[in-house]
Amino acid sequence: MKALRVAVVGATGAVGQEMLRILEERNFPIGALKPLASSRSLGRMVRFKGEDIPVEVLEPSSFKGYDLALFSAGASVSKEFAPYAVSDGCLVIDNSSAFRLEEDIPLIVPEVNPHRIHDVRKRGIIANPNCTTIIAVVPLKPLHDYGKIRRIVAASYQATSGAGAQAMRELEEQVAAYVQGKPLEVKVFPYQIAFNLIPHIDVFLENFYTKEEMKMVWETRKIMEDQTIRVTATCVRVPVFRAHSVALNIETERKITREKAVELLSNFPGVVVQDDPKNRVYPMPLFVAGKDECYVGRVREDISLEHGLNLWVVGDQLRKGAALNAIQIAELLLREGIL
């Protein structure tokens, strides 16, 4: 297999660090690795396959001679530097929101819409979806294929990892301060996150939804390739370090029984069913953090709706919700002969 020259933008951040770990875990064929970040990271090193590699400052010329660039540094960085990478013949997989809704850029979850991978030839960029959207659409796909989903009501319980490494540290520091009887400092979130829930992720829009909630609406329709699906969401930040949880209520054209739903989910790649109420078996962030799959439980028919179904989904935001999905896209590019 061809050894690729790979650049990782944002290599010192939480998602960038996870990308490096997963590239190594999955033995992705790398001939040369270039970790890139802002000038603030100059002098830092990243560890990859037993070697310390110096972090380079991101510049327009950083991608010359490279095959693939994994971006995990925010939308403004992607908008500025991804075009430079493409102009130098480097394919881009972007983890930010910069390109997700552009019609000629594919938005891919490999278990759900792998056939869109060939659309990368249009612009040289593939968008990695929002973390919560990824975790939700993987188990929704087999249910949609069987029963055609008409409506989705989602309530997310999102870990601090979704806001980056500093947000995770803020939770840890606030808990430590609380135990020590000290004042809790608030820097990253609008309010104290320790021992609290914040029903506010990203900015509020004119329709009173947050941008995070509307991402779930827009991106779910694009990934599922069905603009008729009605989607509504409430996104909440919770005092958890890793792994997002989503409560999903769906309405389908064709009735899906609990038994059929469990069968469909159990046979779908990337999904693990943990559903044994009598023995208190259901997914929780405590046990899903660090795992690759989307875990599903609490599957039950909606008693208020004839063709309704409820399920509880948990997935690691840093892995399947971000870094792992990007690496799976890169593996798909290899299998399809695009890289």
**What stretches of 148-210 show up as alpha helix (H) in DSSP?**
165-179
3-class secondary structure for 9-41? Answer: ECCCCHHHHHHHHHHHHCCCCEEEEEEEECHHH
Torsion from C-alpha of 143, 289, 76, 102, nearest 10 degrees? -10
- Supply 169's token pair: 């540290």
Residue 88 is given by DSSP the state T
Asked if 115 is an active-site residue, the reply is: no
Considering the candidates 144, 244, 294, 307, report the single residue annotated as catalytic.
244
- Candidates 31, 4, 7; CA nearest to 20 is 7
Q: Is 235 a catalytic residue?
A: no
One of 90, 131, 235, 294 is an active-site residue; which one?
A: 131
Residue 155: what residue type? A
Q: Identify whether the C-beta of residue 327 lies closer than 8 Å to the C-beta of residue 134.
A: no
The stretches of the chain forming alpha helices (DSSP H) are 14-25, 75-87, 120-123, 131-147, 165-179, 211-224, 258-266, 285-288, 324-335
For residue 59, count CB atoms less than 10 angstroms from its CB and return exposed for 0-12, middle for 13-18, buried for 19 or more.
Answer: exposed
Active site residues: 131, 244
